[in-house]
Amino acid sequence: MRKAPTILHLDMDAFYASAEQASKPSLRGKAVVVGGLGPRGVVATASYEARVFGVHSAMPMAQARRLAPNAAYLVPRFGFYKAISEQVMGLLRELSTLVEPLSLDEAFVDLEAGGAAWDEASARLVGARLRADIRAVTGLTGSVGLAASKMLAKIASEQAKPDGLVVIEPGTERAMLGPMSVRTLPGVGPATGDHLRRAGIHTVDEIVEAGEDELVRLLGKAHGHGLYAMALARDERAVVAEREAKSVSVEDTYDVDIHDRVRVGLEVQRLADRCVRRLREAGLSGRTIVLKVRRYDFSTLTRSETLRGPTDDPAVVREAALRLLEGVDSTGGVRLLGVGVSGLADFTQEDLFAQAAGQGAELPVEEVADEVPVEERDVVVERRWVAGHDVRHAEYGHGWVQGSGLGRVTVRFETPDSEPGRVRTFLVDDPALETAEPLPLVAVVGGRRGGS
């Protein structure tokens, strides 16, 4: 490990929920939950105000509603979040060429590689300036951790939440880690944590006391060696600028289990087409087709087929996915389906097109979208007004959907830089009301960004 805390980990605070609060003045300081709103939806992000009630990421939305019935429940606006993320990642790339994004709201930065920092004082200064820049550019807050390794930098940013900065000085790592829960270490999830607890190991210090041999006996060779090294604060992983995609996949969870085998097949074909669209957008192709099926009893089956070479042809992927489906028992119902492609490459092997047996091999992916079942088109129309999404009214201006149903839609008219707005209700087919693009959180004035 290096001798200075020059690896930075940034984690935006409650990112999706914070972005929604910043764009909607009426929600600031209030409990906000972002995620799927259907019966089987899950929480993507909860604001800190919602976390007070016990709501957290990955929780079933139904449980969140029981814990915080008065919170605002919104459907994610991923395009909006991605635009903000690009602004943040741009700030990080000004610090170093070695930026490793982990998600839209999280990344590692090697400050030493970019010459931005070389000791504790310079690293701390960079961290403080970055937090200020993020607030100025996006209006949001992020927490920064600085340490001599990626593992410790991530732990530091977690300690810094929300809206803080924590530096772990080289030489203090063991003392700092010792009393922490084993769940603090990367790779220790609920199952591993329970396994260690049953063995009487609760803290990082107790991992060290148990010894490497005991960890290998309990967890296996690879996991045991790795966990013991982390408990000793050993982490030599480098910040990697480009994280190459290993697969491209899409999946859908259904509000009601699908029992009709024909419908299941149609859904698999639709997912295959969506997956190929993503492949082509990324300029990729793949050799291995993967089908994922979660049945009524929550059991999950995964099947795969490897082709002779990489393809981005929709007919080939559809046919492979349907062949895989033939070997899956869907009796009792299906609650989730997914189609993925792995073994990625940036070229295709033309002779694979023959596998389509002349069934639309040359059909552009965009045209395949016309094959979506009528039932799905109806659902899209019914959900035209999505909770939390942007709209514009010819008379009242910009607003967002609070809710819809029974032929009506309720809209709150406000913008990021306005006072909390008024609520009005319209017929769902009101010609004066239309969907709109999100407004920027921070206005650009005279070529410079103003604060919020």
Average pLDDT over residues 123-140: 96
Return the structure tokens found at 61. 């939305």
Q: What is the pLDDT of residue 244?
A: 63
Q: What is the pLDDT of residue 159?
A: 94
Cis preceding-peptide flag for 60 (omega within 30 of 0): no
Is residue 108 within 8 Å of 148, Cβ to Cβ? no
Average pLDDT over residues 294-305: 87
Q: What is the pLDDT of residue 444?
A: 58
pLDDT bin (cut points 50, 70, 90) of residue 78 is confident
pLDDT bin (cut points 50, 70, 90) of residue 363 is very low
Phi, psi values for residue 147, rounded to 5°? -160, 180
Q: What is the pLDDT of residue 103?
A: 83
Across the chain, mean pLDDT equals 85
Q: What is the pLDDT of residues 230-262, one digit of tens each?
A: 999 998 889 988 666 678 889 888 878 899 999
Percent of the chain with pLDDT over 90: 59
Judge whether residue 205 has pLDDT over 90: yes
Q: How many CA atoms lie within 13 A of 11 on its CB side?
A: 20
- Distance, CA of 328 to CA of 264 (rounded, Å): 11
Q: What is the pLDDT of residue 362?
A: 33
Average pLDDT over residues 332-337: 90
The sign of the CA dihedral 132, 134, 140, 141 is negative
Q: What is the pLDDT of residue 346?
A: 57
pLDDT bin (cut points 50, 70, 90) of residue 69 is very high
Judge whether residue 218 has pLDDT over 50: yes
Examine the residue annotation and report whether 382 is marked as an active-site residue of this protein: no
Average pLDDT over residues 199-225: 90
Selected catalytic residue, list 20, 49, 100, 106: 106
Judge whether residue 92 has pLDDT over 90: yes
pLDDT bin (cut points 50, 70, 90) of residue 44 is confident
- Distance, CA of 95 to CA of 321 (rounded, Å): 44
pLDDT bin (cut points 50, 70, 90) of residue 312 is confident
The sign of the CA dihedral 34, 269, 301, 275 is negative
Q: What is the pLDDT of residue 242?
A: 66
pLDDT bin (cut points 50, 70, 90) of residue 22 is very high
Window from 136-140, 270-274, 283-287 with minimum mean pLDDT: 283-287
> Can you give the three-state secondary structure of the chain, one letter per residue?
CCCCCCEEEEEECCHHHHHHHHHCHHHCCCCEEEECCCCCCEEEEECHHHHCCCCCCCCEHHHHHHHCCCCEEECCCHHHHHHHHHHHHHHHHCCCCCEEEEECCEEEEECCCCCCCCCHHHHHHHHHHHHHHHHHHHCCCEEEEEECCHHHHHHHHHHHCCCCEEECCCCCHHHHHCCCEHHHCCCCCHHHHHHHHHCCCCEHHHHHHHCHHHHHHHHCHHHHHHHHHHHCCCCCCCCCCCCCCCEEEEEEEEEEEECCHHHHHHHHHHHHHHHHHHHHHCCCEEEEEEEEEEECCCCEEEEEEEEEEEECCHHHHHHHHHHHHHCCCCCCCEEEEEEEEEEEECCCCHHHHHHHCCCCCCCCHHHHHHHCCHHHHHHHHHCCCCCCCEEEECCCEEEEEEEEECCEEEEEECCCCCCCCEEEEEECCCCCEEECCCCCCCCEECCEECCC
Q: What is the pLDDT of residue 303?
A: 92
- Distance, CA of 367 to CA of 363 (rounded, Å): 7
Indicate the SS3 state at residue 54: coil
Window from 11-15, 35-39, 240-244, 262-266 with minimum mean pLDDT: 240-244
Judge whether residue 180 has pLDDT over 60: yes
pLDDT bin (cut points 50, 70, 90) of residue 355 is very low
Residue with tokens 């080939």: 316
- Distance, CA of 74 to CA of 68 (rounded, Å): 13
- Distance, CA of 450 to CA of 3 (rounded, Å): 38
Q: What's the angle, vertex CA 385, arms to CA 26 and CA 256, rounded to 5?
A: 115
Q: What is the pLDDT of residue 58?
A: 81
pLDDT bin (cut points 50, 70, 90) of residue 270 is very high
Q: Which residues contact 415 (CB under 8 A, 6 or more apart)?
A: 23, 25, 397, 398, 421, 439
Total-model pTM: 0.72
Q: What is the pLDDT of residue 448?
A: 43
Maximum average pLDDT range among 35-49, 296-310, 419-433: 419-433
- Distance, CA of 278 to CA of 335 (rounded, Å): 23
